[in-house]
């Protein structure tokens, strides 16, 4: 057995072990299925063990695979901590004075508000803002060391991805619906969920980068007669989003913190009140004064605005409740 196993092979192994499905594992790693299968075969050669039992319909870990899995997870976690210490910009040490790359999700967002206050509270730190608009996409860059901090729905990430990340719940945003001005419900101050039965809402289906939000929508719509708009190519930029949404006549599942779209109105959902948890997420092991400033800003804003208060009768997906517990 080789003593120097490429961490890429271990990442492939852990992804397949979590998914027990090569296609889903390949999608999660953003690689071709053929390349993933090749990496698994190479790892099996290097370890001298068969790690998976594979048929056309079924994938299962062998006993050797089960023994390897916890070691592989610990090695990948250590690599993540090493990457956090060295930093993505070639810094000379774990506390070197380097910029902190922060994905604020969108210019109008909870993440942007936290970032703005952190810049005020820590003027000596250089924060470099990015706008992925999707924690699923950002998580891949976090794991690779191309990004330091992001914001979004932590429970919507795969368990194996969450294992390499730290997080802090920042806010419960109220979920809303973006309606065309001519929609029959546009005149209401609030929209009961039951009133959307028979409607079809856009929630990012087809955009792999925002998969955690589409997953939230499926959980919210289940059993309520609300349809999810079919997959559509990723829409880049506020102007293009407004153009596509208006042209297609969509209503959009959104949150109370959302861009304005000409010709559309944002209405909070009630009965029950759905909440969208927003967490600050970073690579496990990251140490940087900017991270401390962001956490402090999140606490300050949360205390002032009651960001972590949950109204009576609020609704959250079971996965988010489990993470909160």
Going residue by residue through the chain (325 aa), what tens digit of pLDDT does each one get? Answer: 446 788 889 989 998 998 899 988 887 776 788 889 999 999 999 999 999 999 878 899 999 999 999 999 888 888 766 665 555 443 434 444 689 999 999 889 999 999 999 999 999 999 999 998 799 999 988 988 889 999 999 999 998 889 889 999 999 999 999 999 999 999 999 999 999 999 999 999 999 899 999 999 999 999 999 999 999 998 888 899 999 999 999 999 999 999 889 999 999 999 999 999 999 999 888 889 999 999 999 999 999 999 999 998 899 999 999 888 7
| Cα dihedral sign, 221-225-228-230 | positive
**Pairing, β 191-192 against β 100-103:** unpaired
> What is the per-residue pLDDT for 254?
96
Q: Are 320 and 172 in contact (CB under 8 A)?
A: no
| Cα dihedral sign, 218-139-127-280 | positive
- H or E stretch including 159? helix 159-162
Q: Are 276 and 153 in contact (CB under 8 A)?
A: yes
User: What values do phi and psi take at 96, rounded to 5?
Assistant: -60, 150
Domains and CATH numbers, the chain: 7-80 (1.10.10.10), 100-171+275-324 (3.40.190.10), 174-274 (3.40.190.10)
pTM > 0.85: yes or no: no
Token digits for 68?
């390897």
Q: How far apart are CA 168 and CA 302, in angstroms?
A: 12
| Cα dihedral sign, 298-300-304-308 | positive
């Amino acid at each position: 057995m080789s003593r120097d196993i490429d961490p890429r092979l271990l990442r492939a192994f852990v992804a397949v072990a979590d998914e027990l499905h090569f296609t889903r594992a390949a999608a999660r790693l953003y690689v071709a299925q053929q390349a993933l299968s090749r990496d698994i075969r190479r790892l099996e050669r290097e370890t001298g063990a068969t790690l998976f039992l594979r048929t056309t319909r079924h994938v299962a870990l062998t006993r050797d695979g089960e023994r390897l899995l916890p070691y592989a997870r610990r090695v990948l976690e250590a690599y993540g901590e090493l990457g956090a210490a060295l930093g993505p910009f070639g810094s000379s040490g774990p506390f070197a004075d380097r910029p902190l790359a922060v994905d604020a999700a969108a210019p109008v967002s909870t993440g942007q508000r936290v970032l703005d206050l952190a810049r005020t509270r820590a003027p000596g730190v250089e924060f470099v803002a990015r706008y992925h608009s999707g924690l699923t996409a950002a998580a891949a860059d976090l794991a690779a060391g191309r990004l330091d901090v992001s914001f979004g729905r932590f429970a919507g990430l795969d368990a194996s991805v969450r294992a390499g990340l730290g997080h802090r719940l920042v806010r419960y945003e109220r979920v809303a619906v973006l309606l065309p001005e001519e929609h029959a419900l546009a005149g209401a101050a609030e929209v009961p969920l039951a009133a959307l039965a028979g409607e079809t809402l856009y929630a990012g289906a087809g955009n792999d980068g925002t998969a955690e939000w589409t997953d939230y929508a499926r959980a919210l719509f289940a059993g309520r007669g609300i349809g999810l708009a079919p997959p559509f190519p990723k829409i880049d930029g506020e102007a293009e989003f407004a153009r596509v949404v208006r042209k297609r006549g969509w209503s959009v599942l959104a949150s109370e913190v959302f861009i304005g779209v000409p010709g559309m109105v944002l209405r909070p959902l009630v009965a029950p009140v759905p909440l969208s948890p927003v967490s600050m997420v970073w690579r496990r092991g990251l140490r940087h004064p900017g991270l401390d400033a962001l956490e402090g800003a999140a606490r300050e804003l949360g205390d002032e605005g009651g960001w972590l208060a949950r109204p009576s009768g609020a609704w959250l997906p079971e996965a988010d409740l489990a993470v909160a517990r």
